[in-house]
Amino acid sequence: MKGHNQTLFCYGSTGAGKTYTMVGHSGSYGLMHNLVKDVLAYGSFLVSYMEIYNEKIYDLLEPKELVLRECNGTIVIPNLFNKRVENIEEFEEVFRQGTKNRTTAETKLNKNSSRSHGILRISVGEHKLNLIDLAGSENNRKTGNEGIRLTESNSINRSLFVLGKVVNAILKGEKRIPYRDSKLTRLLQDSLGGSSLCYIIANIVGDSSGMGDSINTLSFASKSRNIVNILDVAQKPRGKDFKNGGCSLSELGKRKPLSIKTNMKFNIQRKEDMPLRSKEKENNPHQESFPTSTSAIGGKKKGKSSLIYRRCKEDGGKFSKNPKLTSNGSSLILKSLLEKPDIVLSPRTKEKSYRAFLKRAQEFESAKKYRLALEDYKTMQKFCDNDFIKQKIEKINMLIKKTRRKPKVTKENVLQIINQGNFFDIKKLPRVGDKRAQAIVDFVNGGNFFETLNDLKLLFSEKIVDSILFSIDDG
C-alpha cells in the first residue's frame, strides 16, 4: 500500500450493483476477494468486518456494538475484533461469517437489499485498507418501505445525505465540515479531505426509470473528484496498545478541562488615583452623576455639559448611590456588576456604556429584533432611569405583543407542508431558515417522507427539533 492508508467504496442508488461490485455473487468474486488475493501475495494480514446499521456500529465477526473514538486526530474503534489471515481459505471463512451476520432484507426494487453500510478493513502493519459496501439511497415511494424497513431507509438516506454535505462543505472551503453528523462520515473523515488515498466507484442504473438517481450519483462522483487529500505516510503508533490505534484506553478517556473565559475587565482604582471631585462631591461621597465636562470623551471642550447628563437631570433621573465596597473582594464586585453595573462603574464608564447600549438598541429596533432591543434598553435603565427609556421599553413591549399575533400553525399543517417539499412554504415555518428548509427539501426530493414531526431528528439535532415543535400549536 506504499505507506498510505487507503479507502475504496461504491456509491449509487439501491439495485445499482454496489454489493455485486464489492462482494460478488454465485462464484463471481468481487473486488473485496480479488484485492485480498493481491495483498496475500505479500504475506499475512489482520482483517476486521463491521457494519453501520441505524447509526450504530456493530462488529460482524464478534457480534457486539462498537463506539468511535478520536486519538491524536485519528479515528479509532476500540475493541474491534481482528483476525489474522494467512491464506485465501481463511479469509473466505471469515468473510462468509461476517456476511452472514450483516443485515439484509427484501424490497420491491431489490430482493437482497443491504440495510447497512459494510466495512471490511485489512491491516498490514501500520497501514489500513478500508473496503466499503455502502447501502444505496432509496426512494420510499418506489420501494414501498414500511415500519422497520422505513426506519432503515431513512437512516441510510440520512447518512448518504450527510456524505453529500461533507463533500460540498469541503469544496466550498467551509470552516466547519459536518463529519460528526453521521457515523459514516465520521469513519470516512480521514478519506474525505484527510490524509488517505480514496477511490470511489459510481454505480448507476441503466434503466430510464432510475435516471434521476443516476444523475445524482454522477453529480456526487464529479464533485468528489475535485477533493484533494494531503497524503501522509502512515506512522507507527506509539505505545503498546495497537488495538486502540496506538492510544491506550486511559488516553482515549482523557478530556481537556473546560476553560472559562470572560471579556469583562475590572479596573478598580485606588482612592488617591481617582479624579478630583467638587466640594459638593466631597461633602456627599454617595452622590453620583455623569461628568459635566466631556473633555475626556472625544476630546471635546471643557465646560460643555453632557447630553446624557442633561437628559437624566431634566427627566428627574436618579443614579444609584455608591456604597462602600465590603471586604468580600472580587466576588462582591462581580455580583454587583451583573446585577447593578452602575454601582461599580465610574461616571465616564457609565456614559460610554449608555451610548454603546443606546446605539446597539436602536440598531436592533431598526432590524425588528425587538427582544434584543428590549434587553439593551432595560440595561440602560441601570445607568440612567428616565422617561425616555421608560417610553422606549413600553413601545418595544407593545411591538413584541403585536408580532405574536400570527396565524396559528398546527402540527398537521406543518407535516403536510414539509412533505410537499416546497422551499418557500417550508421556510415560512417557525424556527426554519434557508439552510434547514433546503435540507428538508433535499430529503423529501430524495424520495423520503415524514410520518411524524419527530422524524425531523433524522436531519437536525434533538434540540433544534424541540425548538421547532415548541413554536407550533398542538392543534
pLDDT, one tens digit per residue, over 178-237 is 888 888 888 888 777 777 788 889 988 877 777 888 888 888 888 888 877 666 555 554
pLDDT tens digits for range 337-349: 445 554 556 777 7
Asked if residue 314 lies in contact with residue 308, where contact means CB atoms within 8 angstroms, the answer is no
pLDDT tens string 56-114: 899 999 888 898 888 777 788 889 999 999 999 999 999 988 888 887 666 655 555 67
Pick one of 3.20.20.140, 3.10.20.90, 3.40.50.1010, 3.40.850.10 as the CATH number of 6-252. 3.40.850.10
Give the span between the Cα atoms of 380 and 350, in whole angstroms: 9
Contact criterion met (CB below 8 Å) for 69 and 246: no
Q: Which of 51-60, 292-301, 458-467 bottoms out in mean pLDDT, i.e. has the lowest?
A: 292-301
CATH class entry, domain 411-470: mainly alpha
Whether 345 and 364 have beta carbons less than 8 Å apart is answered as no
CA 179/CA 192 separation, integer angstroms: 9
- Average pLDDT (397-425) is 77
- Beta-sheet strands, E only, within 15-173: 24-25, 28-29, 45-53, 56-59, 64-66, 69-71, 74-76, 83-85, 104-105, 113-114, 117-124, 127-133
Distance CA 327, CA 225 (A): 67
Query: Tell me: the pLDDT tens digits for 4-40?
Result: 788 898 888 878 888 889 888 777 888 988 999 888 8
Least Cα distance to 463 among 434, 436, 444, 445 occurs for 436
The H or E element spanning position 90 is: helix 88-101
Q: Are 192 and 170 in contact (CB under 8 A)?
A: yes
| Whole-prediction pTM | 0.49
Instruction: Measure the CA dihedral 155/145/111/216, to 10°.
Output: -60
Instruction: Give the domain ranges of the chain.
Output: 6-252, 271-404, 411-470
Residue numbers in the known binding site for ATP are 12-19
Same fold, 6-252 and 411-470: no
d(CA 199, CA 218): 14
Average pLDDT score over the chain: 73
Q: Is the pLDDT of residue 265 over 80?
A: no
CB 354 within 8 A of CB 384: yes
Using the Cα atoms of residue 281, residue 287, residue 292 and residue 296 in order, give the sign of their dihedral: positive
Residue set of the binding site: 12-19
